[in-house]
A and B are shown apart, each in its own frame.
Chain A
Amino acid sequence: MDLAYGPEYQAFEAEVSAFLEANRDRWPPAVGATREQVLAWQKTLIANGYAARTIPKAYGGYGAEVDILKSRIIAEAFTRAAAPGGLAGQGINMLVPTLLDVGTEEQKQRWIASTLAGETVWCQGYSEPGAGSDLASLRTHAVEDGDDFLINGQKIWTSTAKQADMIFCLVRTEPAAPKHAGISYLIFSMSTPGIEVRPLKTMTGAAEFNEVFFTDVRVPRSQIVGGRGEGWRVANTTLKHERGMLGDPNAAESRLAAIIAMMRAETVGGERLIDNPVLRDRLMQLQARVLAMKFNGLRLITSQLADESPGLAALIVKLQGCEINHQLAAMAIDVLGELGVLYEDSPHLRDHGVWQHRYMFDLGLIIGGGTAQIQKNIISERGLGMPREPKTVEG
């Protein structure tokens, strides 16, 4: 065990910090950033290797060798400086790695660079009204018609579908095959005729996701990723990327730091909130959990470097990471008390209402990307070797 980074990495760490300091005036503001500011920052980050770092130059990335330590140093330095990181989202985090894995050369050329630059926004069309946790029972179907697929059906809970230019979508192409073997992965434009998007307002008050209806949507057969009937396998490579993204310990660490700062600054009846022993005890409990997940992250990196299977240490990340983030938001609104229920543009609102928003939004993250219960199934079956649920006749 040796947690020092070594001279090469220390120099790199200094380089990242110096970059962030020197470019402070280009950081998009945390709230109310314009699209131009965000895209310009993304461009700067890619040019310097702080976003899309290991993606080949030919596809619009920075083209560095994979170096997990450097990636981590970047993430840590951004967290420490509270600097806005590169763009995230389903296109960059899920579609791009999938295309890199299994896309054709033409698909890579066509989509990766514009996605990384933030010019092409994607949505993920997996879930359906009848296929949530049991995703493989999805029924939206595509039939061949000349050089095209003709798609009919409905998706739901599709985040950012309203803003998206493109969708990566699971559809049933082989109705006679067993359910996992009958699915294909298609990518197509959201402006294709026959697509209707109906926003679904969530409890935060915003329409964070949508219903998407397909009526005779015509998509060229070349826009399949992987082969026919291979969609389940292709999608699973993407889900792996999604779960890593959802449990990120760096996010939890900076939220914890923000709560500590708030508890030191805010007073009730003249008493600092940090001096309230009950709240402080709760804060310390959360700090222990955040630290444990951070150190668990170090363990994961080391096992990745050594090419060892991380086992349980990886399987628990989505469950624990999302739970801790939600608890942090809950802690923050409890610390704020009555101020913690103010919202939107209310006077006395703190931090632009971000904690109230997160308290609701982060509950969605516990559900999305594989619910907590599904995570526990995975942990017990793959991590502890317990038996799978007996199959019912219906399924």
Chain B
Amino acid sequence: MDFALSQDQKLMQASLAGTLDRACPLERVRAFAENREVVATDVWTALTDLGVPGLLIPEEHGGLGLAVLDAALVAETLGAHVAPTPFLGSAVLAPLAILAAGTAQQQSRWLPALAAGEILAGAAIAEGISGARDGAGVRAEAGRLTGKALFAFDAEQAGVILVADTDGGLWLVAGDAPGLALTPLTNIDLTRRLSELRFDATPADALAQGDIPPLLTRLRDVAWTLLAADMLGASEVMIAKAVAYAKERRQFGRVIGSFQAVKHLCAEMAAELEPCRALVWYAAYAQDAAPAEASLTAAHAKAHLSEVSRFVARTATEVHGGMGITDLLGLHYWFKRVGADRQWLGGPERVRHLAAVIQGLVAA
């Protein structure tokens, strides 16, 4: 038994962090957000040099062929840097779906291009996981899609978009398909992009129907795990920033970090977050190595990190005093990032309900 990261994984995470320190410092994040950029091509290119877009794509299609645990380490690092990247859509959801259910032809058409970072992919699967709002829903008929999908990830400059229909079928739609209209949804988290997609008899390419319900479940579980990892990374940074600030800022002739009220806030954040690391690792490992535990641990990782990262976000902000809520400090990018991760693909109450369903405590 070995519950730790391998040397390779540690190196990969460190080199990714180094790359993001250079390619994606806070000023770059701020520019992306303030200018409402759609894709930070420079950042994605830097990540492409490390193979991030092809992380989960097998070597025969030009990727690295790594596992969900590796993707979770990437997600953690992206969360730590509040990096503006189309990671979830391009590097995770679309490739996993195409790999699991695509024909040989669909695979060779999309996977090498995705792995090389030549095209981006989006994903419109929220309704199938967190439920439909505002009349959303996509119907499929004779290879054409009609209806609307809300909260689509990374769809704006996507060459291909993964779409879930109301019957649980999965489809690939070309980014420039006729009858596809896209409206950006302004998110509090300006580091990642969401949009609403409207389909009007839009031609679509079906992914093999047979295994669809389990595939959507796998996509859900992996996405939950990676959102949890993003929150883990973002929360670590918020704690580190709060602790560093508390060791510097002086009031009443002492650094505020010597006041027990402040120390205990920091200790509580650390005590809540530390076990989350093991929870995220375990959930990510389970996605590939322990299928029987994959759904339950993913649900708990998603819901629990949502609660802990909310606590960390407000507490780290408080430790900074008035400075904490300023735009200048920029802590709000992390604050909003975990706020979005919490709601995407189901808030904690919904996910915990599903956690109970998953283990057969109640019917769906």
Seen from chain A, the residues whose Cβ lies within 8 Å of a Cβ on chain B are: 1-6, 9, 69, 260, 263-264, 274-275, 277, 280-281, 283-285, 287-289, 291-293, 295-296, 298-299, 301-303, 305-306, 312-313, 316, 319-320, 373, 375-377, 379-381, 383-390
A383 and chain B: residue at smallest CB distance: B270
- Cα A388 to Cα B266 in complex, Å, equals 14
Known A4-B1, A383-B270, A386-B263; judge A291-B300 contact (CB<8 A): yes
Q: Say yes or no: is B353 at the interface (Cβ < 8 Å to chain A).
A: yes
Partner of B362, one of A275, A296, A381: A275
Chain B residues with CB below 8 A from A280, complex form:
352-353, 356, 361-362
For the complex, is B271 an interface residue (Cβ under 8 Å from A)? Answer: yes
- CB pair A376–B274 under 8 Å, yes or no, is no
CA distance A275 to B258 in the complex (A): 47
Size category, B interface: 35 or more
Interfacial chain B residues near A373, Cβ < 8 Å: 264
Interface residue B314 (Cβ < 8 Å from any Cβ of A): no
Most buried by A among B279, B303, B353: B279
Task: For A287, list chain B residues within 8 Å (CB).
Answer: 300, 355
Question: A106 vs B255: C-alpha distance in the bound complex, in angstroms?
Answer: 51
Decide: B275 and A386 in contact? CB cutoff 8 A.
Answer: no
A291 and B271 contact, CB distance less than 8 A: no
Contact of A299 with B257 at beta-carbon distance under 8 Å, contacts A285-B352, A383-B267 already known:
no
A131 to chain B, nearest CB (A): 20
13 contacts between A and B (CB under 8 A): A1-B2, A1-B4, A274-B356, A284-B352, A288-B301, A291-B282, A295-B3, A296-B278, A316-B275, A377-B264, A384-B263, A387-B255, A389-B260
Asked whether B274 lies within 8 Å of A386 as measured between CB atoms, the reply is: no
A312 to B361, CA, bound (A): 34
Inter-chain contact B349/A281, CB cutoff 8 Å: yes
Q: Is B268 an interface residue when CB atoms closer than 8 A count as contact?
A: yes
Q: A3-B282, A379-B267, A389-B260 are in contact. List 15 more A-B contacts (CB 8 A).
A: A1-B3, A2-B289, A4-B1, A284-B352, A285-B303, A288-B304, A288-B352, A292-B276, A295-B275, A296-B277, A298-B278, A313-B274, A377-B267, A387-B258, A390-B258
CA of A215 to CA of B6 in the docked complex: distance in angstroms? 59
Main secondary structure of the interface of A (DSSP, over half): helix
Once the chains bind, are A3 and B290 in contact (CB under 8 Å)? yes
Q: Mark B303-315, 1 if CB is under 8 A from A, else 0.
A: 1100100000000
Q: Which residues of A sit under 8 angstroms from B1, Cβ to Cβ?
A: 2-6, 9, 69, 298, 301-302
- Is A312 touching B254 in the complex (CB atoms < 8 A)? no
CB within 8 Å for A285 and B270 given contacts A274-B361, A376-B263: no
B3 to chain A, nearest CB (A): 4
User: Are B258 and A295 in touch, CB under 8 angstroms?
Assistant: no
> Are A260 and B3 in contact (CB-based, < 8 A)?
no
**Chain A residues within an 8 Å CB radius of B249:** none
Question: How far does the alpha carbon of A364 sit from the alpha carbon of B246 in the complex, in Å?
Answer: 32
Instruction: Assess the A1–B285 pair: CB atoms within 8 A.
Output: yes
- Chain A CB within 8 A of B247 CB: yes
Instruction: Determine if B275 and A264 form an interchain contact, defined as CB atoms under 8 angstroms apart.
Output: no
With an 8 A cutoff between CB atoms, is B297 at the interface?
Answer: yes
Known contacts A287-B300, A292-B279; is-contact A379 B5 (Cβ 8 Å):
no
Name the residue of chain A whose CB is nearest to the CB of B269: A384
Nearest chain B CB to A319's CB is how many angstroms away?
Answer: 5
